[in-house]
A and B are shown apart, each in its own frame.
Chain A
Amino acid sequence: MAPFHLLLTLCVLAIAGFFIGRSKSFAVCSAQGGPRALHSRPIYYGILTAIWCAVPALIVFSFWYFFQSTIIMDLVIADLPDPIRFLPEDRLNLVVNDIKNIVAGNIVAGNISPAIQAAADHYKSLEKTAQVALSVIITAMAIIAIAGVYLKITPTLRARNYVEKIIEGLLIACTSLAVFTTIGIVASVFYEAIRFFKIVPVYKFLFGLQWSPQMAIHAEQIGSSGAFGAIPVILGTMLIAGIAMCVAVPVGLMAAIYLAEYANKNFRNIAKPLLEILAGIPTVVYGFFAALVVAPAIRDAGGILGFSVSSESALAAGIVMGIMIIPFVSSLSDDVINAVPQSLRDGALSLGSTRSETITNVVLPAALPGIVGGVLLAVSRAIGETMIVVMAAGLSANLTVNPFQAVTTVTVQIVTLLVGDQEFDSAKTLAAFALGLLLFVITLALNVVALIVVRKYREHYE
């Protein structure tokens, strides 16, 4: 049976199990005066049967599929004629790929040797056997489970408690996925980064002043020795993020102040959703806008004023990134400004200060920790932003703080190093993971600090 049909069968069996369990519960209680005599409502007996029928079978099913191809492949390789079996690792991998392609019915390059054809046939027959075995095992498991639960159902069986325990277990499993994601990120990125640091020492990566991630293919090749000093990349990231902050913080903050303190209700009702639209626009659209409108405009303006401005200037990417972050800053600041108690404002106004004096001397100092937290979150956003810089910033890692020149960022480098096919043993590819680790650590640190600051601030006024 194909996997899909097998799952369908399992589904049907589980539904059957539900009805069998439920009717058994009705049957066992009929002598004692109906469902009232049962510990749980009949539906729980049905659910319990269905769960016992489906869950263990599903677990076996997924494990089976997880290991099936590897095990079968090992069996096939063990049966290959000796000259092929003792090929070096990489040649053997080619043969394995050929076999897999034949099995999948793909077009295979070159002509197929009879040995490989035989191996492919062997693979197919083993696969068929495995398929039949799995079908038998799963169906048997499901039926045995139904029978087992059926025999166990008595009026005193605490079906509801069991079912609820299982549901709670499922909920815990779903929650722990979040933790597994974090572990997955840390482990995968860390593992590849460690491999990178075995080739390039950590201090050279962190403090090197030159970044040109080209590794020589031949030992005698000239001009591609590969330099993995992350400083120019980090500096470029900081430059663009800094420009973005110069745009986003004043504009976002003033907009939030105006909307919270000055604007009348109608203006607010129109302006706020419009600002939210700005937040909902995909970053690839901003990237297009930066590359199409802002970068040429800045280059032309620079040409008129007599500077030479690169068409991939840090300024263009930074400004557009700033625009993207404006709504982020303004909505966070809006929250903290609104959280400042009205009594503070009333106090200041009653002493005769103007509104702007109230805001700058009373409201903003009170809201400062929250605003700082929001700005830190915005910085971490700017550092991790990818599409705008990929489309509008440069590729060459210049060690400069001149906003009119092209710089590159951590995310741009990750994308350029990893897009397309790649080998997983070259320093070039692994460097992307080292950069990813750097990015993760920096943004994590910023987020943790920001969340602590914001939380402290909230506790202050609640």
Chain B
Amino acid sequence: MNNLNKRAVPGNGRTIDIVKKGLNKRYRKERRFRVFGWAAVMISLGFLFLLFISIISNGYTAFQQTMVRLDVYLDTDVIDKDDLAGADYAKLIHEALLSVYPDVTKYNEKRKLYELVSTGAAYRLRDFVAKNRHAIGTTIQIWVPADDDVDMLIKGHIDRKTPQSRRRINDRQLAWVDHLISRGQVKKVFNMTFFTSGDSREPELAGIWGAVCGSFYTLIVTLVLSFPIGGAAAVYLEEFAPKNRWTDIIEVNINNLAAVPSIVYGLLGLAVFLNFFGLPRSVPLVGGLVLTLMTLPTIIIVGRSALKAVSPSIREAGLSIGASKVQLVAHHVLPQALPGMLTGTIIGMAQALGETAPLLMIGMVAFIVDIPAGFTDPSTVLPVQIYLWADSPERAFLEKTSAAIMVLLLFLMIMNATAVFLRRIFEKRQ
């Protein structure tokens, strides 16, 4: 008591006065602390919005594509009716362009003129002719994709005011484009190419379908392997394994594997699957194997917690009426834990869908135009496609990259929403 008094005395008031004196300062500190916390949350959310806004603002234009209408005379001299595939369709496109601007005669100018439409225009024309054989010998109107530079100009990504030398489109081409626009020969349409074709060096012809197919096959392999194996491992560790040093080691091991950097799995895949077993490069099969190893720890850990959540009374009831351990697990525990395990699997799959680094190691980073049709066709996956496009210098690939990211995020959102939905159902039942 004495002691307390002594400490309170130094001012010449009572303890309560000292406390009150400091109170304002302490409250200010309290408010400051609270604001810091609030700011931290807001900063994180701010980053999230900045990320989304920058990607959407860069990418939404990729869903539209500029088309140019050409009046093409299907010259019987150029197209041989018996050999449709062998005809020089590019020449027909060029003649159609020249017929609009007959005053262009110099070689260099002609080349600039031809650059207004995509090299893919010839393929469009070929497909058209293959379908309409009777049109050979007449003049047809056809919409063909514009070149990516024209596309960028129409979408406003190329500034007309920059000096000609620093612009990808020169003044002459600008005038041509403006003239075409005034004649109503240019329009923007929904970009189907982006969703239906594979990769290409020409931005206006590049699409994500090849990468989506590659991702699909890779994920199928991952799912088919990782769900049964991960589920079985979780069941063994949780229900059957004796508690001894071995199972302890396995448990620690799995926890550590979950935190191993994904690129190390890529090294494993390269050394074991490609070099030792001699499996082919760049194929979804190997990608799926690597991603299986990578997602297994996640699936096992989530699966175990789902099994742990099954109430002990069910186990005791099952055992007391004479079920064997396997029967108990198969008939009573697993059905209860299944939604939880599925949630874990979906989370693992979402992780696998977004993973890039290990796939770079096993060569899924190749430039592949064809749409993969099976598990052993060379292919790339969506995130790797994003990485490849992000490296391309053309401005047009910037919006393609952002659009591909939007598609990837959409897939991830669907998967995560499914996981949340499953969890809800599961919680309701209990």
A residues apposed to B, CB below 8 Å: 160, 163-164, 167-168, 170-172, 174-179, 181-182, 184-185, 188-189, 191-192, 250-255, 257-259, 261-263, 271, 274-275, 277-278, 280-289, 291-293, 323, 326-327, 330, 352, 354-357, 359-360, 377, 380-381, 383-387, 390-391, 411, 414-415, 418-420, 424, 432-433, 436, 439-440, 443-444, 447-448, 451
A-B complex: 5 closest residue pairs judged by Cβ atoms: A384-B261, A258-B37, A282-B354, A254-B40, A188-B271
Chain B residues, CB < 8 A from A356? 29-30, 33-34
Can you name the residue of chain A whose Cβ is closest to the Cβ of B402?
A288
Tell me which of B261, B296, B325, B350 contacts A181 (CB under 8 A): B296
Segment at the A interface, from B63-71, B117-125, B262-270: B262-270
Best-surrounded residue of A184, A352, A386 (most CB of chain B within 10 A) = A386
Can you name the residue of chain B whose Cβ is closest to the Cβ of A250?
B40
Can you name the residue of chain B whose Cβ is closest to the Cβ of A172?
B236
Complex contact A283–B356 (CB within 8 A): yes
Does B87 count as interface, using CB distance less than 8 angstroms?
Answer: no
Complex contact B408–A174 (CB within 8 A): no
B211 to A: closest C-beta gap in Å: 12
Q: A448 CA to B255 CA in the complex, in Å?
A: 9
Tell me which of B324, B354, B390 contacts A164 (CB under 8 A): B324
Chain B residues, CB < 8 A from A287? 387, 390
- List 6 interface pairs A-B (beta carbons < 8 Å), by A numbering: A171-B233, A174-B232, A262-B34, A285-B405, A286-B51, A354-B30
Instruction: Encode contact with A along B227-261: 1 for CB under 8 Å, 0 otherwise.
Output: 01110110111001100000001101111110111
Q: A219 CA to B356 CA in the complex, in Å?
A: 37
The residues in B between 36 and 58 inclusive whose CB is less than 8 angstroms from any CB of A are 36-41, 43-45, 47-48, 50-51, 54-55, 58
Complex contact A323–B47 (CB within 8 A): yes
Q: A339 CA to B34 CA in the complex, in Å?
A: 21
Tell me which of B235, B240, B350, B387 contacts A387 (CB under 8 A): B387
Chain B residues, CB < 8 A from A262? 34, 37-38
Complex contact B356–A178 (CB within 8 A): no
B9 to A: closest C-beta gap in Å: 20
A371 to B: closest C-beta gap in Å: 15
Instruction: Encode contact with A along B383-398: 1 for CB under 8 Å, 0 otherwise.
Output: 1101100110000001
B422 to A: closest C-beta gap in Å: 16
Complex contact B237–A182 (CB within 8 A): no
Q: A420 CA to B264 CA in the complex, in Å?
A: 17
Instruction: Encode contact with A along B323-340: 1 for CB under 8 Å, 0 otherwise.
Output: 011100000000000000
Can you name the residue of chain B whose Cβ is closest to the Cβ of A330?
B44
A231 to B: closest C-beta gap in Å: 20
Complex contact B254–A178 (CB within 8 A): yes
Can you name the residue of chain A whose Cβ is closest to the Cβ of B251?
A178
Complex contact A282–B356 (CB within 8 A): yes
Complex contact A171–B235 (CB within 8 A): yes
B residues apposed to A, CB below 8 Å: 19, 26-27, 29-30, 33-34, 36-41, 43-45, 47-48, 50-51, 54-55, 58, 228-230, 232-233, 235-237, 240-241, 249-250, 252-257, 259-268, 270-272, 275-276, 293, 296-297, 300, 324-326, 350, 353-357, 360-361, 363, 365, 383-384, 386-387, 390-391, 398, 401-402, 405, 408-409, 412, 416
Add 10 more A-B contacts to A352-B19, A451-B256 (CB < 8 A).
Answer: A174-B230, A188-B268, A274-B48, A278-B44, A285-B51, A354-B27, A355-B30, A356-B30, A436-B263, A436-B267
Q: A163 CA to B324 CA in the complex, in Å?
A: 12
Q: A262 CA to B365 CA in the complex, in Å?
A: 47
B135 to A: closest C-beta gap in Å: 36
Complex contact B233–A174 (CB within 8 A): yes
Complex contact A424–B275 (CB within 8 A): yes
Q: A192 CA to B259 CA in the complex, in Å?
A: 22
Can you name the residue of chain B whose Cβ is closest to the Cβ of A448?
B256
On whether A164 and B325 interact (CB within 8 A), knowing A179-B253, A439-B264, the answer reads yes
Chain A residues, CB < 8 A from B262? 384, 386
On whether A284 and B40 interact (CB within 8 A), knowing A174-B232, A188-B267, A436-B263, the answer reads no
On whether A188 and B325 interact (CB within 8 A), knowing A178-B233, A254-B39, the answer reads no
A240 to B: closest C-beta gap in Å: 14
Q: A386 CA to B233 CA in the complex, in Å?
A: 29
Complex contact A283–B390 (CB within 8 A): no
Q: A420 CA to B240 CA in the complex, in Å?
A: 45
On whether A271 and B41 interact (CB within 8 A), knowing A168-B240, A171-B236, A292-B58, the answer reads yes
Complex contact A184–B236 (CB within 8 A): no
On whether A386 and B357 interact (CB within 8 A), knowing A262-B34, A285-B408, the answer reads yes
B402 to A: closest C-beta gap in Å: 8
Complex contact B29–A354 (CB within 8 A): yes
Complex contact A189–B267 (CB within 8 A): yes
Chain A residues, CB < 8 A from B232? 170-171, 174-175
Q: A282 CA to B275 CA in the complex, in Å?
A: 28
B168 to A: closest C-beta gap in Å: 19
On whether A254 and B412 interact (CB within 8 A), knowing A282-B355, A356-B29, the answer reads no
Complex contact A411–B357 (CB within 8 A): yes
Q: A359 CA to B265 CA in the complex, in Å?
A: 41
Complex contact B44–A432 (CB within 8 A): no
B404 to A: closest C-beta gap in Å: 10
Q: A319 CA to B271 CA in the complex, in Å?
A: 33
Chain B residues, CB < 8 A from A432? 267
Tell me which of B34, B240, B356 contacts A171 (CB under 8 A): B240
Q: A216 CA to B270 CA in the complex, in Å?
A: 24
Chain A residues, CB < 8 A from B326? 163-164, 167-168
Chain A residues, CB < 8 A from B241? 175
Q: A262 CA to B237 CA in the complex, in Å?
A: 39
On whether A326 and B44 interact (CB within 8 A), knowing A171-B233, A258-B37, A284-B354, the answer reads yes
On whether A291 and B390 interact (CB within 8 A), knowing A164-B326, A262-B34, A357-B26, the answer reads yes
Complex contact A354–B26 (CB within 8 A): yes
Q: A267 CA to B149 CA in the complex, in Å?
A: 46
Complex contact A178–B357 (CB within 8 A): no
Q: A279 CA to B240 CA in the complex, in Å?
A: 34
Complex contact B268–A255 (CB within 8 A): no
Q: A177 CA to B255 CA in the complex, in Å?
A: 14
Complex contact B261–A447 (CB within 8 A): no
Can you name the residue of chain A whose Cβ is closest to the Cβ of B229?
A174
Best-surrounded residue of A192, A252, A254, A384 (most CB of chain B within 10 A) = A254
Complex contact A184–B386 (CB within 8 A): no
Q: A385 CA to B358 CA in the complex, in Å?
A: 11
Complex contact A282–B271 (CB within 8 A): no
Chain B residues, CB < 8 A from A440? 260-261, 264
On whether A433 and B255 interact (CB within 8 A), knowing A171-B232, A258-B37, A384-B264, the answer reads no
Can you name the residue of chain B whose Cβ is closest to the Cβ of A286?
B51
Complex contact A386–B263 (CB within 8 A): yes
Complex contact A278–B47 (CB within 8 A): yes
Tell me which of A168, A179, A447 contacts B250 (CB under 8 A): A179
Can you name the residue of chain A whose Cβ is closest to the Cβ of B358?
A386
Q: A251 CA to B38 CA in the complex, in Å?
A: 10
Chain A residues, CB < 8 A from B268? 181, 184-185, 188-189
Chain A residues, CB < 8 A from B266? 418
Best-surrounded residue of B19, B50, B236 (most CB of chain A within 10 A) = B236
